[in-house]
Structure 1
Amino acid sequence: MAKRVAVIGAGVSGLSSIKCCLDEDLEPICFERSNDIGGLWKFTETSKDGMTRVYKSLVTNVCKEMSCYSDFPFQEDYPNFMKQEKFWHYLQEFAEHFDLLKYIQFKTTVCSVTKCPDFSVSGQWDVITETEDKKDRAVFDAVMVCTGHFLNPRLPLESFPGIHNFKGHILHSQEYKIPVGFQDKRVLVIGLGNTGGDIAVELSRTAAQVLLSTRTGAWVVGRSSHGGYPFNMMITRRCYNFIEQILPSCVLKWIQERQMNKIFNHENYGLSITKGKKSKIIVNDELPTCILCGSVTMKTSVKEFTETSALFEDGTVEENIDVVIFTTGYTFSFPFLEEPLKSLCSKKLFLYKKVFPSNLEKATLAIIGLISLKGSILSGTELQARWATRVFKGLCKLPPSQKLMADATKKEQLIKRNVIKDNSEDKLDYIPYLDDLAACIGTKPNVPLLFLKDPRLAWEVFFGPCTPYQYRLMGPGKWNGARNAILTQWDRTLKPLKTRVVHDSSKPASMSHYLKVWGTLVLLASLLLLCKSSLCFKLLWDKLQDRISPYQISIW
Structure 2
Amino acid sequence: MKIAVIGAGPAGLCALKSCLDENFSCDVFEKSGLIGGVWNYNEKTGLDEFGIPIHNSVYTDLWTNLPTDLMQFENFPFKCPVSFVRQPDVLKYINDYADAFNLRSHIQFYKHVEEIRPLPNNRWKISIRDLKSMGQELVIKEYDAVIICVGNFNKPLIPTFKGLDKFKGTVKHSYTYRKPDPYKNRKVLIVGKGPSGSDITGLVSKVAEKVVLSHRSPLREYAKFSENVKIKPVIAEFKENSVLFVDGTEEDITDVLLCTGYAFDYPFLTNECGIEVEDNYVKYLYKQIINAKHPTMAILGIPHTTFLLIMFGIQMRFFIAYLKGQFTASKETMIEDAINYEKHRKDEGGSLLKIKKEYYDDLSDTAKIQNIPPVYDKLFRHVLEVGPMKYQENYTILNDEEFIITKLH
Fold conserved between structures, TM > 0.5: yes
User: Shift of residue 70 of structure 1?
Assistant: 1.5
- Alignment map for 1:88-167 (pairs within 5 Å): 88-116=91-119, 119=120, 122-132=121-131, 133=135, 134-156=137-159, 159-167=160-168
- Alignment map for 1:45-56 (pairs within 5 Å): 45-49=43-47, 50=53, 51-56=55-60
Note if 1:393 corresponds to 2:324. Answer: yes
Does the 8 Å contact 2:6/2:149 carry over to 1? yes
- Alignment map for 1:488-527 (pairs within 5 Å): none
Task: Please give the secondary structure, in 1, of the residue aligned with 2:116.
Answer: strand
Q: Partner of 1:258 in structure 2?
A: none
2-structure distance, mates of 1:406, 1:104: 36
- Alignment map for 1:348-427 (pairs within 5 Å): 348-360=282-294, 363-373=295-305, 375-394=306-325, 396-409=326-339, 420=347, 423=350, 425-427=352-354
Q: Partner of 2:86 in structure 1?
A: 83
Does the 8 Å contact 2:117/2:272 carry over to 1? no
| Pairing partner for 2:249 from 300, 316, 319 | 316
Note if 1:16 corresponds to 2:14. Answer: yes
1-structure distance, mates of 2:113, 2:96: 26
Which is further off, 297-306 or 10-19? 297-306
Does the 8 Å contact 1:188/1:211 carry over to 2? yes
Q: Partner of 2:385 in structure 1?
A: none
Task: Please give the secondary structure, in 2, of the residue aligned with 1:48.
Answer: coil
How many aligned residue pairs are there?
Answer: 381
Relative to 1, partners in 2 of residues 1:16 and 1:408: Cα closer, same or farther, differing over 3 Å? Answer: closer
Percent identity (aligned): 30
1-structure distance, mates of 2:340, 2:86: 44
2:90 alignment partner AA: F
4+ residue stretches of structure 1 with deviation over 6 A? 461-465, 488-494
Structure with higher strand content? 2
Does the 8 Å contact 1:30/1:103 carry over to 2? yes
Indicate the RMSD between aligned Cα atoms, in angstroms.
3.0
Relative to 1, partners in 2 of residues 1:466 and 1:20: Cα closer, same or farther, differing over 3 Å? Answer: farther
User: Shift of residue 410 of structure 1?
Assistant: 6.4
User: Shift of residue 342 of structure 1?
Assistant: 4.7
2-structure distance, mates of 1:493, 1:443: 30
Relative to 1, partners in 2 of residues 1:129 and 1:439: Cα closer, same or farther, differing over 3 Å? Answer: same
Q: Partner of 1:68 in structure 2?
A: 72
Task: Please give the secondary structure, in 2, of the residue aligned with 1:95.
Answer: helix
Note if 1:326 corresponds to 2:324. Answer: no
| Pairing partner for 1:434 from 360, 376, 392 | 360
Q: Partner of 1:284 in structure 2?
A: none
Does the 8 Å contact 1:113/1:125 carry over to 2? yes
Task: Please give the secondary structure, in 1, of the residue aligned with 2:151.
Answer: coil
Deviations 1:298-352 (A, max 9, x none): 0111111111111111111112x11100111110121111114354366434211
2:191 alignment partner AA: I
2-structure distance, mates of 1:421, 1:490: 29
1-structure distance, mates of 2:365, 2:97: 26
Task: Please give the secondary structure, in 1, of the residue aligned with 2:257.
Answer: strand
2:324 alignment partner AA: K
Question: Gaps spanning 5+ residues in structure 1: where?
Answer: 221-263, 267-287, 447-460, 469-484, 499-556
User: Shift of residue 411 of structure 1?
Assistant: 6.9
User: Shift of residue 487 of structure 1?
Assistant: 4.5
2-structure distance, mates of 1:169, 1:93: 40
Task: Please give the secondary structure, in 2, of the residue aligned with 1:113.
Answer: strand
Deviations 1:44-65 (A, max 9, x none): 1122232142111111111112
1:178 alignment partner AA: K
User: Shift of residue 152 of structure 1?
Assistant: 0.4
2:224 alignment partner AA: T
Relative to 1, partners in 2 of residues 1:300 and 1:439: Cα closer, same or farther, differing over 3 Å? Answer: same
Does the 8 Å contact 2:30/2:109 carry over to 1? yes
Does the 8 Å contact 2:174/2:258 carry over to 1? yes
Note if 1:296 corresponds to 2:229. Answer: yes
1:42 alignment partner AA: N
Does the 8 Å contact 1:345/1:351 carry over to 2? no
Rg larger for: 1
Task: Please give the secondary structure, in 2, of the residue aligned with 1:181.
Answer: helix
2-structure distance, mates of 1:397, 1:180: 54
Does the 8 Å contact 1:144/1:366 carry over to 2? yes
Question: Gaps spanning 5+ residues in structure 2: where?
Answer: 48-52, 381-396
Q: TM-score, normalised by structure 2?
A: 0.85
1-structure distance, mates of 2:21, 2:360: 19
1:164 alignment partner AA: D
2-structure distance, mates of 1:419, 1:13: 27
2-structure distance, mates of 1:351, 1:88: 30
Task: Please give the secondary structure, in 2, of the residue aligned with 1:136.
Answer: strand
Q: TM-score, normalised by structure 1?
A: 0.63
Deviations 1:409-435 (A, max 9, x none): 5677x68xx993565624111x32223
Relative to 1, partners in 2 of residues 1:465 and 1:351: Cα closer, same or farther, differing over 3 Å? Answer: closer
Does the 8 Å contact 1:109/1:131 carry over to 2? yes
